[in-house]
Structure 1
């Protein structure tokens, strides 16, 4: 009887001490990003996957429930590529990776970050198209993906993101026409400049939907 009671108490203690599964999932997602990046200045040195959760890692901010809400890695001399695992950061609000040397495409899975407020990927070497899944980012206010190598058209799904205040896609290789409805009514034209194949504001109902233009 005494032995059984000891085992029961030990099981309860282990349950209480075990980290939430979400914390491990978020840590795994961030560590997947670390593995995909080259980090010559060791800014990710503190990203230790053996810790309970990533809230003690540098450049990461968490809320009171130890859920990751912010990643600040702008101007960190990082290269490599983004990973779909970032979509597991369900509470992420700010994804700041500007002014690095990141290549490859934007994972469409990032469209699942329903709490994302700011996506700053400007001044990198990112190619491919702007994911249509960004139309699901209903909390998004700032979308800055200028100064990259993006191609294709501006997804019309973005016109349904009413929270958008800032969209900057300048200095890419986008094509098609510039949306003029929804949040795009108030975006200045210089936020679309230096896209040689991007045409002027579209006439209502004459949008270019071809991602290959």
Structure 2
């Protein structure tokens, strides 16, 4: 009898877990977005609806979710927000589009953005980002569009990006990048306009070890 009671209790525990798991996941994503908001100045109250007491973030403006309450898209382009990004954005495991262009975001681009394995498009252009392009971006196997232009990025273009077979568009123009431009993988198809107004020294020579002139 005790055994049957234990089995019944276990059954209801598992059932409860399956019912609550989407909510728990959504709350985790909501916590990540709320942590992001706490780092930012938002003079136009674009993120006013981002209330952490709600069940999940899918009711917030500028956040798009799927039917399972997974955050797929974050649209905060041209929102006049300022501040820096933190590692919490790397917790949005289902995110497909990160649109933060045309703001006053500064500081380094978090390495944790490389954990967004579902990401298709990342638009961080026209901000004040400094530091290097994270090598972790080489893990973004689903990414097709990567726009980092018009920032203050330094260092070389990570060679890990040459492994992104789905990458169709890259723009790192108008930064302070140095070294040479990869020629492998998708870089064989990119126009030189994507790299203009940097301190880059042209494409690498195939078969030779890349040399970062001036870096």
The 5-angstrom pairing of residues 6-155 of structure 1 reads: 20-155=23-158
Separation (CA, whole Å) in 2 of partners of 1:18 and 1:180 = 44
When the two structures are superposed, what TM-score results if normalisation uses the length of structure 2? 0.89
Question: Distance between the aligned counterparts of 1:83 and 1:106, measured in 2?
Answer: 8
Shift of 1:83: 1.1
Q: Does 1:188 align with 2:191?
A: yes
Contact 1:19/1:52 (<8 A) preserved: no
Is the alpha carbon distance of 1:176 and 1:210 closer, same or farther for their aligned partners in structure 2, counting shifts above 3 Å? Answer: closer
Question: Structure 2 vs 1, CA of residues 65 and 211 (structure 1 numbering), >3 Å: closer, same or farther?
Answer: farther
CA distances 1:79-123 after superposition (whole Å, capped 9, x unpaired): 001111001100000000000000000111110100000000000
Alignment check: 8 A CA contact 1:132 1:155 kept = yes
1:205 positional shift: 3.2
With normalisation by structure 1, the TM-score equals 0.90
State the SS of the aligned residue for 1:150: strand
CA distance in 2, matches of 1:208, 1:82: 31
Listed as ranges, the gaps of 5+ residues in structure 2 are 1-8
SS at match of 2:173: coil
Give the Å deviation of 1:75.
0.2
Moved over 4 A (4+): 11-19, 209-212
> Are 2:82 and 2:106, in contact at CA under 8 Å, matched by a contact in 1?
yes
Q: Tell me, in whole angstroms, the C-alpha distance in 2 between the residues paired with 1:36 and 1:112.
A: 20
Distance apart, 1:17 and its partner CA: 6.8
Q: Deviation of residue 212 (structure 1)?
A: 8.0
Structure 1 residues 32, 210: CA separation in 2 closer, same or farther (over 3 Å shift)? farther
Cα distance in 2, alignment partners of residues 104 and 209 from structure 1: 27
- Cα 1:88–1:138 change in 2 (3 A) is same
Q: Name the structure 2 match of 1:169.
A: 172
- Tell me by how many angstroms 1:19 deviates: 6.1
Conservation of the 8 A alpha-carbon contact between 1:19 and 1:53: no
For each residue in 1:164-187, what CA deviation from the matched residue of structure 2 results, as whole angstroms up to 9, or x when unmatched?
000000000000001111000111
Q: Let me know the Cα RMSD of the aligned residues.
A: 2.1
